[in-house]
Amino acid sequence: MMTPTVREVCAEVLGRATPSPKERERVVTLAEELENRVERAAKEAGVRAEVRVEGSVAKDTWLSGEPDIDIFIRVPTTMPPTAFRTTLLEVARKATEGYRRVERFAEHPYLEAVTDSIRVNIVPCYQTKPGEWISATDRTPFHTDYVKPRLDEALRGEIRLLKRFMKGTMTYGAEIKVGGFSGYLCELLVLSNDSFLNVLRVFADWGERRAIDYEGYYRGREAEAKKIFEEPLIVVDPVDRGRNAASAVRRERLDEFISAARAFLSRPSLTFFYPPETKALPTERLADAVKKRGSALVFVRFGRVKAVPDILWGQLYKTQRSLRKMIQRHGFGVIRDRAWSDEGNVNMLIFELEQRFLTPVRKHLGPPIGKRAECERFLQKHVASPNTVSGPRVEAGRWVVETRRRCVDVVDLLYERLRDGGRGAGVAELISKVIPNTLEVRVNEDISELYSASHEFAGFLTEYLEGRPKWLRETYA
Amino acid sequence: MMTPTVREVCAEVLGRATPSPKERERVVTLAEELENRVERAAKEAGVRAEVRVEGSVAKDTWLSGEPDIDIFIRVPTTMPPTAFRTTLLEVARKATEGYRRVERFAEHPYLEAVTDSIRVNIVPCYQTKPGEWISATDRTPFHTDYVKPRLDEALRGEIRLLKRFMKGTMTYGAEIKVGGFSGYLCELLVLSNDSFLNVLRVFADWGERRAIDYEGYYRGREAEAKKIFEEPLIVVDPVDRGRNAASAVRRERLDEFISAARAFLSRPSLTFFYPPETKALPTERLADAVKKRGSALVFVRFGRVKAVPDILWGQLYKTQRSLRKMIQRHGFGVIRDRAWSDEGNVNMLIFELEQRFLTPVRKHLGPPIGKRAECERFLQKHVASPNTVSGPRVEAGRWVVETRRRCVDVVDLLYERLRDGGRGAGVAELISKVIPNTLEVRVNEDISELYSASHEFAGFLTEYLEGRPKWLRETYA
């Protein structure tokens, strides 16, 4: 089989990702119908509101097979926050009666509904002047109004290519879980660089930290922009010069996007857009795979945390960082660590360690010989201590001593530090509440029960063990 | 039992360390007799030479029970080096006929003989002007001439206290094996500070690196002296302003002396001067002691190296440093390492490791994302490699990969790297010659055969396991 060219791959992807007229009609009809229902419900509730379709459906930049319909209820700034949080949700509930629904609150209340396997978000916002934002979603209608008139059919295609590429390389999505690129950010990147391939070229050549500033708000003051925004990627929001439209992008996702862009340009393949689904390793081969690896996979599992996904993942990541540092401080070598959640009953932090057990003896560095009083205290403490194994002695200018470790098994360490919820070990608040009653620490193949029960977890762990972006599999192998 | 005062301890030590009139007479008589025999032998060989007693016997600063008689054959600078190296040794041989003798060559040839359990060194040197030194021992007669007239009975006592203190705290001896304080250095320190206790006080308060300069050669230019001499302790030689009389003192011995001085001043005890002999752990308890410790004691043993002690120990220490670094580079955690030798058939390097076996998987850091070409090479190398366990993936701004270690057992590593003599691993030349035929690597209690066979080694290993200066045992316990 001959390697396809970049153009050939893009043409193929465009064909797959662009909705057919029929699909488009179905989605647009559904969006309009929902718009009407929400409008009616608002009127019945006596709410003065502008109801609008926003997001990728409004801009016609959604991907075939995966539309997300966003309906915004835009109300005057005079509506008090309490009414905003209650009355408007009531309106949304009314408009989606009979749908499968979840009410979501992060900073902002909204309602998610599913109909005909299409996800619909009904989101309240205030009709403010630019820059006088009250709620987190007040900018969205401005984003729509900014992008929509600047697009034509060709640019919409370029945006679809970029979105599909980011989805395929796992860098798409501004939610905390992912920390990647939002749809709006994709649109701005294509507007700034004219085409999908130009976006890839710009990122493939990424050198030092740079600001992309389509409206030129910081023209001649790029250094200043880099000071104002601290995130790894800066894309100045055209509707708000004080906002970084790429603020959600974490360093890891940026680096992965850069790497994927380079790889695609030199080794074009459909894999970047449509990676094959991971086939989970059969449960009976898990123990063997882990054993061959030789490290210790430590699974810290706990139960349901009452929080919307963004809050949940924020708490998981914070706890992951704290526990990683705590484990390292106790002398364990951490190879890698990850968080996993089904956003339901199972939450998990995974720490891959060089080994589960540490050497019982530990070399402890004391004060430099120059510090006389500290040396005296060190000797008084360690010479007669029952924990002293060897020493104290002088080595490289300081007193040192070998002492017996209090804790040589990471499993004991974790149970000990987390028993009370682990606030002292840096566990995030909501997680610390569920830990005392639900904590389980498992090592290596002791996780196989969950592995065989959860297809999703099995896929995740298989990918973890492989430990590489999917596109690397075929393109460099 | 009441703690004795510093004065009481010093008085007791002085009583023990000062030779009785009878002992002194015996030694002086023997020294004079030897002087005469060497003079006669020189005359018979037709050598014009001044024969003199030097060292601690000449200066009456030797310790009771351990005299060392140094007889110097001082010849004109006109004698050619070949005659110096052969004829004078012939003279020494002749003069000590019937004695047990060893000829020693380091940089300098000399003859060591033992009679009546008293060690005698017969040492050739040139009669040069100060500063025009030809051989390493030409300064010695000047040292004697400098020190002798400056001493009285009281000062000789102070010197004996200091020497005994250094012997008891294992900091005495300028030979490479020890890297400590020479007898001449002890004398200069007492001359500079008037008394033993003042020497201790000066070192106990040791702050930044300082130059002791009794003759004031560098008065007002102390910073210059500290630049000229690079060693941790600087004591300008009164007979040679270009020489540091403390150049043999290694950092470790200096620090140990400082620490012992502080401890003695606050907790006076005879232990500092006459430590109890170490009672070796019974062989049958060795395995248990090592196991409880939990670390891995790795013994690298090899056979006789043809070299005088100073050369042997230089080669041992150099090899020790190189192998320590090599072992660390391969990922093993080294807790401590030591060299041991009976200066005969058994030489040994000991590495105490956190563990004998490493985790089979190793995290390998690749290039930063910013270096595009290097990233490409890294991916090409690792994606399809059979040694790759996990990855490559992006982490903290760079590509990383987990690879399988080539060598997980330190014993295999050592045999592999030393098979050919180990020059590539930094083994010193003379040692690399004996390694291929005599190398043995043992771990933990596998050393018990040698342990039970060698009283000396058993004592050494017992002290190693205790790992603290002897004076710490009683004074801080």
A407-466: per-residue pLDDT in tens? 999 999 999 999 999 999 999 999 999 999 999 999 999 999 999 999 999 999 999 999
Q: Does A324 touch chain B (CB under 8 A)?
A: no
Write the residue in A359, A384, A397 that is nearest to B355 by C-beta.
Answer: A359
**Token pair in block for residue B185:** 């250095």
Report the chain A residue with the minimal C-alpha distance to residue B395. Answer: A252
Task: Note whether B255 contacts A397, CB cutoff 8 Å.
Answer: yes
Task: Note whether A370 contacts B207, CB cutoff 8 Å.
Answer: yes
pLDDT in tens, B283-328: 999 999 999 899 999 999 999 999 989 999 999 999 999 999 999 9
Task: Note whether A295 contacts B375, CB cutoff 8 Å.
Answer: no
- Residue A167: closest CA among A190, A186, A148, A192: A186
Task: Note whether B465 contacts A251, CB cutoff 8 Å.
Answer: no
Tell me the pLDDT band of B106, cut-offs 50, 70 and 90: low
Q: What is the ipTM of this complex?
A: 0.90
List CB contacts (< 8 A) between B472 and chain A.
379, 383, 392
A95: distance to nearest CA of chain B, Å?
Answer: 45
Tell me the pLDDT band of B473, cut-offs 50, 70 and 90: confident
Contacts of B215 (CB under 8 A, 6+ apart): B236, B238, B241
Q: Does A121 touch chain B (CB under 8 A)?
A: no
Q: Does A461 touch chain B (CB under 8 A)?
A: no
List CB contacts (< 8 A) between A466 and chain B.
390
Interface mutation vs chain B, best among A351, A390, A407, A475, most B CBs within 10 Å: A390
Range B43-76 burial, b when 16+ CB lie within 10 A, else e: eeeebebebbbbbbbbbbbbbbeebbbbbbbbbe
Task: Note whether B355 contacts A354, CB cutoff 8 Å.
Answer: no
Task: Note whether B336 contacts A394, CB cutoff 8 Å.
Answer: no
pLDDT in tens, B229-268: 999 999 999 999 999 999 999 999 999 999 999 999 999 9
Per-residue pLDDT for B441 more than 90?
A: yes
Distance in angstroms (rounded) separating the CA atoms of residues A461 and A467: 9
Q: Please report, for residues A54, A122, A153, A160, B323, the alpha-carbon distance to residue A59 in angstroms, rounded to integers and kept in the order given.
A: 7, 17, 11, 11, 67
pLDDT in tens, A375-387: 999 999 999 999 9
B182 touches B174 (CB < 8 A): yes
* Pairing outcome for strands A234-237 and A211-212: parallel
**Token pair in block for residue A148:** 């929509």
Could you say which DSSP state residue A224 is in? H
Distance in angstroms (rounded) separating the CA atoms of residues B153 and B21: 13
Q: Does B279 touch chain A (CB under 8 A)?
A: no
Distance in angstroms (rounded) separating the CA atoms of residues A379 and A185: 61
List CB contacts (< 8 A) between A390 and chain B.
293, 336, 465-468
pLDDT in tens, A309-343: 999 999 999 999 999 999 999 999 999 999 999 99
Write the residue in B383, B399, B476 that is nearest to A477 by C-beta.
Answer: B383
Tell me the pLDDT band of B103, cut-offs 50, 70 and 90: confident
CA geometry: angle B55, B57, B62, nearest 5 deg = 95
**Which pLDDT does position A101 carry in this prediction?**
86
Asked if the bond preceding B368 is cis, omega within 30° of 0, the reply is no
Q: How many Cα neighbours within 13 Å face the side chain of B269?
A: 22
What's the rounded mean pLDDT across residues B143-170?
97
Task: Note whether B262 contacts A376, CB cutoff 8 Å.
Answer: yes
Task: Note whether A295 contacts B361, CB cutoff 8 Å.
Answer: yes
Distance in angstroms (rounded) separating the CA atoms of residues A20 and A5: 25
Task: Note whether A262 contacts B372, CB cutoff 8 Å.
Answer: yes
List CB contacts (< 8 A) between A363 and chain B.
335-336
B146 touches B238 (CB < 8 A): yes
Q: Does A205 touch chain B (CB under 8 A)?
A: yes
Q: Does A354 touch chain B (CB under 8 A)?
A: yes
Q: Which of A85-89, A387-391, B243-247 has the lowest mean pLDDT?
A: A85-89
B360: distance to nearest CA of chain A, Å?
Answer: 5
The helix (run of H) or strand (run of E) holding residue A83 is helix A81-95
Per-residue pLDDT for A210 more than 80?
A: yes
CA dihedral A304, A306, A308, A314 (to 10 degrees): -80
**Token pair in block for residue B96:** 């000590």
Which positions 167-186 of B are in contact with A (Cβ < 8 Å)? Answer: none
Through-space distance between the first and last CA atoms of chain A, rounded to whole angstroms: 15
Contacts of B96 (CB under 8 A, 6+ apart): B34, B37, B111, B113, B115, B120, B122
Concatenating the DSSP letter of every residue in A366-390 gives EEETT-HHHHHHHHHHHTT-TTEEE
- Residue B447: closest CA among B294, B278, B296, B293: B296
In this prediction the pTM is 0.82
Q: Does B419 touch chain A (CB under 8 A)?
A: no
Report the chain A residue with the minimal C-alpha distance to residue B475. Answer: A383
Write the residue in B206, B402, B472 that is nearest to A467 by C-beta.
Answer: B402
Task: Note whether A335 contacts B465, CB cutoff 8 Å.
Answer: no
**Token pair in block for residue B89:** 């040794």
- Residue A468: closest CA among B384, B361, B406, B397: B384
B48: distance to nearest CA of chain A, Å?
Answer: 49
Neighbours of A87 (CB within 10 A): 20
Q: Please report, for residues A158, B289, B290, B351, B443, the alpha-carbon distance to residue B286 in angstroms, rounded to integers and kept in the order given.
A: 74, 5, 6, 17, 12
Write the residue in A370, A391, A476 that is nearest to B467 by C-beta.
Answer: A391
Q: Does A366 touch chain B (CB under 8 A)?
A: no
Asked if the bond preceding A19 is cis, omega within 30° of 0, the reply is no
Task: Note whether A361 contacts B392, CB cutoff 8 Å.
Answer: no
pLDDT in tens, A239-277: 999 999 999 999 999 999 999 999 999 999 999 999 999
User: A–B: how many Cβ contacts below 8 A?
Assistant: 135
B470 touches B270 (CB < 8 A): no
- Residue A126: closest CA among A68, A187, A47, A192: A47
Provide the residue count of chain B: 477
A473 touches A268 (CB < 8 A): no
Task: Note whether B390 contacts A468, CB cutoff 8 Å.
Answer: yes
